[in-house]
Amino acid sequence: MANIEILHPEVRSKIAAGEVIARPSSVVKELIENSIDAYARRIDIVLKDGGKQDILINDDGCGMGRDDILLAVERYATSKLKNVSDLEHITTYGFRGEALASIAEISHFELETSDGSEGSKIIVHGGEFKDIMDSHRPQGTRVKVSDIFFNLPVRSKFLKSGQWERRLIVDVVKSYALINPSIYFSVQEQDRKILDFIAPQSFEDRIRLFFPKRIVDALVQINIKVGAVRFNGFLTRPDFFDRHHMNYLYVNGRPVKYARLFRTITNTYQNPKTPPGFVLNVEVAPSVVDVNIHPTKQEVKFRDERYVLDLLSQAIKTRVFTRVRGVDIQTARYVPTQPGENKSDAKFVQETVLPYPSDNVVEPLTSRESREFWQLHDTYILSQTKSGLVILDQHVAHERIIYESITKGNTGSQRLLFPITLELTPEEYRAYRKTKLLLKELGIEFKEFSAHTVVIDSLPASASVNREDLLDLFKELDGLGNLIKQRNEVAKVVACKGAIKAGQKLSVEEMRSLVDRLFACENPYICPHGRPIVIRFSLDELATRFGR
């Protein structure tokens, strides 16, 4: 006796519906897409119990006639595809012909529509056709979905509270309202207006409606086309580290979940502890992106993914980082010594915390000039800017400088006047053996003596270390585990151990050198480990704190 059986059509339809409709927010997503594809300019949504009891969506789109409304609730019925070749030229949100059939399969479903000349209303309960009748509504479509999953309890019991489901619906509506600023969107529940986005608006105006001023003020616009790819949207400055909920990705205006796009953005920002905020639309030819990966159409794939991701990284670096790199720090006026003056204050390279920008010794600054930089608790550097105040963490600032210098090969080695001999533990010596070639590339050179004894005679020119720092270097390298072979990870440890420390006193000239070299870096706002380097306070922020 055969154990394999063909599933009953009713079971098949329920399984297929469950792939498309996971919860009330899925219903709202599919119906919004239909409304936008129908050229609606107004979409009103009314909820009851977070959509679990009722979802009502009304639009002013082109609507349908009597013949189309009967086909609309059939599975795989669509006006957007004719043959398989059309899959390469999809410009609409919907195309699979599954949404309305799936919704009608798991709810009490009513669809009322008019194309301007005739109106019709159809009723379907749990996939079973009930009635069709004439309607006198104006042009557009009204869909009412009640008792979602009433006939699919295995799915219904996984729904959460009405408040939770409503929040998910609001997130869905926001994602479409952001990228469609010319459409009016509203969400209402129990006579309470939850969202109300007027139209027509520009993309920039919608952004201002969505997010608080502190986030909007930190945004940098990007609108660049390279070849057949365009990037359009807003990203937060690399020195913005506040918490936010601004992570919206689109491909050709379609909200998507694209992990590699997200990672490319965060990697370009060098993985800060607080990820950057962004609203970004990637526009490509429909033929080079596959939107038919999943029934929900939220996952897509570029044909040449590496090319698009590389372009995105470069676009962020050239459009976002270069526009905000300067901090307009008002540095003091430095007066070099005249030829023949005493230079007895010059230091050996090993003793200098930061290299001076020239061989000239700086004269003592006047009291007015010395106030251009302050060192707080020998750890933070403060300086006024034209718009307020900036605070730098001296350790992570120097860490960034060293990291970029040694990874790009822009710094040489400084030979020590007094080489440092280290007696390593077996674990430290193992780390040394695994990384000695990488360390040499990064500017650290050794000589080996007896077992577990090494002598360091060269360090990166920017480094400032002592014996304890070098011992800690090998301890941390040993702690890298499987990452010990990765050049960037080793460079992070070298930069951290070679950087000036918190609690280390700096002269005004050394602070100036640190600041100048920091803002010559590719990313002066985030240390290699993802910590912020610079914090800004605008005059407006300070005035608010003081109640001015």
Shared domain check, 138 and 219? no
Shared domain check, 165 and 48? yes
Whether the per-residue pLDDT at 3 is higher than 50: the answer is yes
Residue range 189-200: average pLDDT?
90
- Per the prediction, the chain carries an average pLDDT of 82
Query: In this structure, is residue 57 part of a structural domain?
Result: yes
Whether the per-residue pLDDT at 322 is higher than 80: the answer is no
Query: In this structure, is residue 202 part of a structural domain?
Result: no
Shared domain check, 255 and 172? no
Whether the per-residue pLDDT at 347 is higher than 50: the answer is no
Shared domain check, 234 and 98? no
Whether the per-residue pLDDT at 341 is higher than 50: the answer is no
Residue 298, C-beta contacts closer than 8 angstroms, at least 6 positions apart: 255, 256, 257
Neighbours of 97 (CB within 10 A): 17
Q: How far, in Å, CA of 299 to CA of 284, rounded?
A: 15
25: Cα separation from own chain's centroid: 23
User: What pLDDT score was predicted for residue 460?
Assistant: 81
Sign of CA dihedral 386, 392, 396, 399: positive
Number of domains in the chain: 3
User: What pLDDT score was predicted for residue 87?
Assistant: 63
| Least-confidence region, from 104-118, 226-240, 350-364 | 350-364
Whether the per-residue pLDDT at 333 is higher than 70: the answer is no
* Maximum Cα interatomic distance, the chain, rounded to a whole number of Å: 107
Query: In this structure, is residue 1 part of a structural domain?
Result: no
Domain that holds residue 464: 326-336+355-548
Query: In this structure, is residue 348 part of a structural domain?
Result: no
Strand partners, 371: none
User: What pLDDT score was predicted for residue 96?
Assistant: 67
Q: How far, in Å, CA of 320 to CA of 268, rounded?
A: 11
Whether the per-residue pLDDT at 366 is higher than 60: the answer is no
Among 197, 223, 243, the domain boundary falls at 197
Query: In this structure, is residue 3 part of a structural domain?
Result: no
Residue range 347-358: average pLDDT?
37
Query: In this structure, is residue 205 part of a structural domain?
Result: no
Q: Which two tokens stand for residue 130?
A: 């009930």
Shared domain check, 290 and 273? yes
pLDDT digits (tens, 9 = 90+) for 390-411: 899 999 999 999 888 888 876 6
Whether the per-residue pLDDT at 345 is higher than 50: the answer is no
Q: How confident is the model at residue 485 (pLDDT cuts 50, 70, 90)?
A: confident
Shared domain check, 175 and 223? no
User: CA nearest 231: which of 168, 318, 155?
Assistant: 318
Residue range 369-392: average pLDDT?
82
Q: How far, in Å, CA of 276 to CA of 261, rounded?
A: 13
Shared domain check, 97 and 67? yes
Shared domain check, 145 and 286? no
Whether the per-residue pLDDT at 532 is higher than 80: the answer is yes
CATH number at residue 130: 3.30.565.10
| Least-confidence region, from 7-11, 21-25, 541-545 | 7-11
Considering 11-20, 137-146, 445-454, the range whose residues carry the highest mean pLDDT is 137-146
Query: In this structure, is residue 367 part of a structural domain?
Result: yes
More confident residue, 448 or 38: 38
User: What pLDDT score was predicted for residue 388?
Assistant: 84
User: What pLDDT score was predicted for residue 83?
Assistant: 60
Q: How far, in Å, CA of 499 to CA of 494, rounded?
A: 8
Shared domain check, 261 and 161? no
Strands 380-384 and 534-538, by their bridges, are unpaired
Residue range 257-268: average pLDDT?
91
Residue range 248-268: average pLDDT?
92
User: What pLDDT score was predicted for residue 458?
Assistant: 81
Q: How confident is the model at residue 329 (pLDDT cuts 50, 70, 90)?
A: low
In the chain, what percentage of residues exceed pLDDT 90?
A: 33
Q: How confident is the model at residue 362 (pLDDT cuts 50, 70, 90)?
A: very low
pLDDT digits (tens, 9 = 90+) for 11-62: 655 555 556 788 999 999 999 999 999 999 999 999 999 999 999 999 999 9
User: What pLDDT score was predicted for residue 273?
Assistant: 81
Residue 245, C-beta contacts closer than 8 angstroms, at least 6 positions apart: none
Whether the per-residue pLDDT at 315 is higher than 70: the answer is yes
Helix boundaries (H) for 221-364 = 259-268, 305-316, 322-324
For 172, the 3-state DSSP assignment is helix
More confident residue, 256 or 480: 256
pLDDT digits (tens, 9 = 90+) for 425-443: 888 888 888 888 888 888 8
Shared domain check, 191 and 224? no
User: What pLDDT score was predicted for residue 88?
Assistant: 66
262 CB-side CA count, 13 A = 12
Shared domain check, 36 and 167? yes
Shared domain check, 61 and 141? yes
Q: How far, in Å, CA of 32 to CA of 174, rounded?
A: 11
Residue that the structure tokens 């930190």 belong to: 218
More confident residue, 270 or 462: 270
Query: In this structure, is residue 350 part of a structural domain?
Result: no
More confident residue, 141 or 75: 141
Residue range 304-322: average pLDDT?
88
User: What pLDDT score was predicted for residue 336?
Assistant: 39
User: What pLDDT score was predicted for residue 99?
Assistant: 84
In the chain, what percentage of residues exceed pLDDT 70?
A: 83
